Structure formats: C-alpha cells, structure tokens
Structure 1
Amino acid sequence: MNSLNAYLDLFRQIDSTDLSQAHSLVSNDYRFQDPFNDFRGSEKLIRLLEQTRKDVRSPRFEILSIWESPTEENRVVKWRFSGLAPVIGKMDFEGFSEISLDPSGRISAHVDYWDSGVYFYGRLPLLRLPMAWIRKRLSL
C-alpha cells in the first residue's frame, strides 16, 4: 500500500510535490485514462500534473476513501477535486478512480470516472445553455 499512498500523494500534494517521483511509482506499461486523456507512460503523467498546476489555481485533490479488492491488485479511490480554472471558475466535484497494481506493487493503470458533462462542458459559456436544454429535455 506504500506505493499507492506515494502515488496518491502526487495528486494530494500536486502544488508542492516532486513530480519526477512518478517514474519510480508507475510500471513501464502504465496507462492513465479520464474523460479527456488516454495515454501511457510516466512522462505523460508528469505532463498532465504539470498542466494541472499551470491551469488550475489552488488545485486540491482530497482522498475520501479507498476500497481494496480481495486479490489486492485493484483499488477504488473516491476523491474530491477543487480549484479555480479559467473560463469555468470554481470547480468542486467528486469522482472515482480504479487503480491497478502490478506484482511489484507499482501502479500499472489509473482510470478516472467523473461527470465531465456537468462539471466541465456544462460550465463553458458557449455550451452552458445547450447543455441545460439537453438535460431538461432528457429529464422526467
């Protein structure tokens, strides 16, 4: 579990941590996927975290809970992200990550699940009204 905690610290302490630690925490075939990204490798993970540092003022990831699988190869992490982004403004939402570990304990995969329609696209000025209309049309 130590490598998982160190890995999660990359996110929890995004403003202050040494992101180059990612190289030793993730496997050679590491894969990251979220609503905007699907990539492999520690270099791209570092670039993603650096971009978050650059684009979001006061980014904060709070780990709310961690569930382990019986085989200890997978974890599900519930988290909350907050910060201030250009155009969108204040962001504050929860999501889940499915994190897989390889036999050596390094992170081999990280898949994020969160609602980009509500928390991102629906807050962009040009899409806000069309997204609200679509939600209204689809609701009961």
Structure 2
Amino acid sequence: MKPSVLSPPDAMARAVAFFEHLEPAHLAALDLIYAPNATFKDPFNEVQGLRAIGGVFEHMFATLDAPHFVVTGRVLQGRACFLTWDFCFRMRRFRRGQDQVIRGASQLVFDEQGRITLHRDYWDAAEELYEKLPLLRPLMRWLKRQARS
C-alpha cells in the first residue's frame, strides 16, 4: 500500500503542532513526523535515524523541566520550511525554578508523505545558553569583550 501524500502546508502545520505539543509520550509516534533516515542537527547534536532523533528529545526531557516550543513564525517554499521559535524550559541544576528562553529557528525539509527528512536547528549557544551558566558566564563575557575590541 502506497503511503498517503501530505501537502507541504499540511506537513508544516503537522510539524508545528508536533513541536508545540511535544511530550515524552509522543516520541513513540516519531515515525509519523520524521522519515526513517531523517537527519537532525543542532549546536550539540548531529544524528540520523528515528532512534537517534528520539534520543535527542529523550535527553531534553530527562535534563530539563517543562521544556516546550512556541513557534513564532513560519515560511514555506516548496517542500522546505523555516520556523522561528522560542524554546521555553527550566534548568534542573542552575537557576532552579527560573524560566529560560532560547530563541532560534529550524530548517525542515519534507518528503512526499510530509515527513521531515532534514531538521536543522539554528541558535546561538553562546548567548542563549553558555552566558546563563554560572561557571561559564564570566568567560563568555570576557570573550565578547575581546571580540569587540
């Protein structure tokens, strides 16, 4: 039986809904969102395949409190999509109980079934994360000053 074809606008809407409502129980249905050999890349990971992509999300849920995405913008061209988002969470080890936000963007490419074949996240790890960590904050500020001079 041939898999159903999902239009790019519908694929984008499904991806946005998936990310905005993501919770650990949804990882069992990752094959509805991602193609079997999909590639995922962000500042910390570069993985391929459903199991590895699921591992990235599992790690997110295991190490952060209340992680969730809020999609703030979307652009679609053919089967390629670009989303801007806020990733909201609370750290478990530092600044406990304080809400944190990382602002970033994702490039997604869909196959004919509307599954993601490429997922690449773009965000500034130095500004959005390292500068918030107590041990790295002074070093990051010093590096910024050095880069400006």
| TM-score category, normalised to shorter length | 0.7 to 0.9
**Which stretch of structure 1 is more off in the superposition, 87-96 or 28-37?**
87-96
Alignment of 1:105-124 (within 5 A): 105-124=114-133
SS of corresponding position for 1:64: strand
Q: Which amino acid aligns with 2:38?
A: Y
Alignment of 1:43-62 (within 5 A): 43-62=51-70
Supply the distance in 2 between the matched residues of 1:19 and 1:3 (Cα, whole angstroms): 18
Aligned match for 2:85, one of 66, 76, 79: 79
1:32 aligns to 2:40 (yes or no)? yes
Q: Deviations over 1:85-113 (max 9, x none)?
A: 13343421211100001233211000000
Q: Structure 1: which 5+ runs fail to align?
A: none
SS of corresponding position for 1:80: strand
Identity level (%): 23
Aligned match for 1:63, one of 68, 71, 85: 71
**When the two structures are aligned, how many residues end up with a matched partner?**
138
Structure-2 residue corresponding to 1:13:
21
SS of corresponding position for 1:18: helix
Q: Structure 2: which 5+ runs fail to align?
A: 1-8
Normalising by the residue count of structure 2, what TM-score does the alignment of the two structures yield? Answer: 0.82
SS of corresponding position for 2:38: strand
User: Is the Cα–Cα contact under 8 Å of residues 63 and 80 in structure 1 kept in the other structure?
Assistant: yes
Q: How large is the RMSD of aligned CA atoms in angstroms?
A: 1.8
**Which stretch of structure 1 is more off in the superposition, 109-118 or 14-23?**
14-23
1:3 aligns to 2:3 (yes or no)? no
Normalising by the residue count of structure 1, what TM-score does the alignment of the two structures yield? Answer: 0.87
Supply the distance in 2 between the matched residues of 1:13 and 1:132 (Cα, whole angstroms): 35
Evaluate the alpha carbon distance shift between residue 9 and residue 19 of structure 1 in structure 2; reply closer, same or farther with a 3 A threshold.
farther
The runs of 4+ residues in structure 1 deviating greater than 6 Å are: none
Aligned match for 2:108, one of 99, 112, 118: 99
